Amino acid sequence: MRLHKTDHFPNGAYVTLMNPDNVGVYAPCRYPIGGEECDKQNRREYYIDELFTPTTPAPAWAN
């Protein structure tokens, strides 16, 4: 069983999908005003990999 974690990357994003309050860690933009920071779909692969393999290395976008 995995517990929720509140750890963050240097850029402020959660380290894991298993966090207590942010279910939109790889969500698309609803209103594309925020540019690249708004659209987080490119993060999906990392979060799914990390969900099943907690030792997945930090991605480039985490800095």
Tell me: the pLDDT tens digits for 20-43?
988 789 888 777 665 556 788 899
Range(s) of the domain holding residue 9: 1-56
Whether 63 is covered by a domain: the verdict is: no
pLDDT at 38: 76
pLDDT at 61: 93
Distance of alpha carbon 51 from alpha carbon 62, whole angstroms: 16
pLDDT of 48 strictly over 90: yes
Distance of alpha carbon 56 from alpha carbon 51, whole angstroms: 9
pLDDT at 32: 64
pTM for the predicted model, two decimal places: 0.82
Whether 43 is covered by a domain: the verdict is: yes
Whether 7 is covered by a domain: the verdict is: yes
Distance of alpha carbon 6 from alpha carbon 21, whole angstroms: 9
Beta carbons of 56 and 49 less than 8 angstroms apart:
yes
